[in-house]
Structure 1
Amino acid sequence: MSGNDEERPERPSEVDGTAHLFRALGKIIKVLRRNAGLSQAELAEITHCSEDLVSSIERGVRTPQPDFLLRVDPALGAGGVLEAAVDDVREALARSRVRHPDWFQDYAEAEAKAVALHYYAVQAVPGILQTPAYARSLFEHRRPMLDETTVEKRVADRISRQVLLDKWPAPTVSFVLEAAVVLRPFGGPEVHREQLRRILDIARRRTVDFQIMPLDRHQHPYLDGAFTLLTPKGRREAAYTEIYGHARLITDPEEVRQYTERYGIIRSQALTQHESLTWIEKLLGER
């Protein structure tokens, strides 16, 4: 996913508040954890999840799944407060699957059900990796300008897709980002740093392969734009592109084969996962 799904028009729609709900729950969990005298690592151990998950939920960049809320409520002595939100979260997650604009529906549904996803990005961080602040900066500065209601809705729609990264069994997921994508400080220094940390959070998972295509490569197999390869369960691999506002979900076997071949060559020319993580850590001053 290129992260450019804002380019095509969509029908007016009310903001449903999903992103606000998830951010609010994250803040509540953070307060409850601190009141309980627990660190993120201690809460993660008690609830049998990763410290990264706890941190990401508290920062509002990952969705608190119903089963997480059911585990964390007694661990924090919340007295049923978090458990009471489970039905609302389930409803919000279900609603997020159908609220995308018509032109995007086929891809959104295929992405949500895919058993394998491979993202190549050349302009912006893929939507599936974006923080709310990064996504908002993209929508707020596009031209022609969008009204605030549309901006909020599109941010919520984009962040809602990220639940697929928390599914289990996890789909096979890989990313190749052009170095220029990561270097662009969209939203300013703080938003940029938060986005880099978000990328590291996801890229460090054992279920994700992540690579950076450096700027010093003398050859490149494909410079026409971003694309995604996806394999829906029980179906053949497909390709998805968004170029100059035109979205395509490609199923023709020969055309998909060409994208698969390009992606393989791109991966072979990119930095390794370890090299890519080190590269981003250096940008953050952590190396």
Structure 2
Amino acid sequence: MTVEAEAGRLRSEADEPGWEVDPDDEWGVAVITTVGRQLKLRREAVGMRAGEFGAAVGYGEDLVYKVEGGKRIPRQEYLDRADEVLEAGGLISAAWEDVKKVRYPKKVRALGKLEANAVEIAVYQCNSINGLLQTPEHARCVIGAAQPPYSPDDVERMVAARVARRTVFERTPAPALSFVLEEGVLRRPIGGTMVWRQQLERLLEVGKLHNVVLQVMPTHCDTHSGTDGTIELLKFVDGTAVGRADGEFNGRPTSDPKHLRILELQYGTIRAQALSPRESLALIEQLLGET
């Protein structure tokens, strides 16, 4: 790719949604404001105007002002180019580790932190595919269909957050992951044929991982202990745990041992009522063949 083409790509990416700062996210605002201030001070220290700096890093002058003013989240490419142009020795590039987290809503950051530390994760979801299992395209369709609708910027921010959570599958040592999905959800072609095929393929890919147990609750099951909604259980290396269920404890997260035993009983019963992992993958393969 030529320098001109690369610069054009970066400028077009700068206009994409999902990179605005959430004004209600105090930590995020503080991070982006600090990074922007440091960029401005370094730029001015070498005697570069905003327009000159923008041309050097491949972005427009307007975006430079937005980043320096704490109004826009800079991309990793922006920080890397700024580091080179300002000869910062990697200090600006290193800011990406904090900057990238700002794109994710506060609640998702908290959930991601829990998932990143959990040694066991168990989820039953009745009305959709769990976010950890969603492809970016499927997530975009699900989030974009919400009513009232999210802004394009919020949609992209939430999609990025779901994709980021998938790093749980890459951890070493690998956590034990268990998912139970509803057959009816697997038959709903969210996003159309191609998006749905990719989603089914992703489920097969994840379901074959050595640390993942993926099961399907069949629609013909005449006994079902999960009709109250989603159940989530996370266990940690120190023996503590946290869980929540739509139908218990007002849907709030709980660490109470008595509450956790109830959730474990419910989830264990649901797993027993669902298809076996082998039968579940066979069903998903069948559905993929029918699309």
Q: TM-score range by the shorter chain?
A: 0.5 to 0.7
| Paired residues of 2:244 and 2:263 also in contact (CA < 8 A) | no
Matching residue within 249, 272, 280 for 1:268: 272
Letter matched to residue 222 of structure 1: G
Per the alignment, residue 188 of structure 1 pairs with: 192
Same amino acid, percent of matched pairs? 34
- Structure with higher RCO (Cα < 8 A, 6+ apart): 1
Number of residues paired by the alignment?
206
Alpha-carbon distance in structure 2 between the residues aligned to 1:88 and 1:192: 40
Per the alignment, residue 243 of structure 2 pairs with: 239
Alpha-carbon distance in structure 1 between the residues aligned to 2:192 and 2:288: 14
Residue 228 in 1 paired to residue 232 in 2? yes
Provide the TM-score with structure 1 as the length reference.
0.64
Q: Deviations over 1:211-241 (max 9, x none)?
A: 1010111111231111211102214222134
Q: Deviations over 1:222-281 (max 9, x none)?
A: 3111121110221422213468xx863211111111110011111111111110011010
Per the alignment, residue 178 of structure 1 pairs with: 182
Alpha-carbon distance in structure 2 between the residues aligned to 1:134 and 1:185: 10
Structure 1: which 5+ runs fail to align? 1-8, 15-86
Letter matched to residue 208 of structure 1: V
Q: Taking structure 1 as reference, are residues 269 and 284 closer, same or farther at Cα in structure 2, changes over 3 Å only?
A: same
Structure 2: which 5+ runs fail to align? 1-21, 30-90
Matching residue within 123, 143, 166 for 2:127: 123
Provide the TM-score with structure 2 as the length reference.
0.63
Aligned pairs for 1:11-50 within 5 A: 11=24
Alpha-carbon distance in structure 2 between the residues aligned to 1:225 and 1:169: 30
Alpha-carbon distance in structure 1 between the residues aligned to 2:119 and 2:196: 30
| Paired residues of 1:177 and 1:211 also in contact (CA < 8 A) | yes
Matching residue within 215, 218, 229 for 2:219: 215
Q: Taking structure 1 as reference, are residues 89 and 208 closer, same or farther at Cα in structure 2, changes over 3 Å only?
A: farther
Per the alignment, residue 141 of structure 2 pairs with: 137
Q: Taking structure 1 as reference, are residues 226 and 91 closer, same or farther at Cα in structure 2, changes over 3 Å only?
A: farther
Alpha-carbon distance in structure 1 between the residues aligned to 2:172 and 2:241: 20
Residue 124 of structure 1, CA deviation:
0.8
Alpha-carbon distance in structure 2 between the residues aligned to 1:88 and 1:182: 44
SS at match of 1:219: coil
Alpha-carbon distance in structure 1 between the residues aligned to 2:262 and 2:93: 40
Per the alignment, residue 63 of structure 2 pairs with: none
Alpha-carbon distance in structure 1 between the residues aligned to 2:261 and 2:23: 31
Residue 205 in 1 paired to residue 205 in 2? no
Q: Which has the larger radius of gyration?
A: 2
Residue 89 of structure 1, CA deviation:
10
SS at match of 1:251: coil
Residue 252 in 1 paired to residue 256 in 2? yes
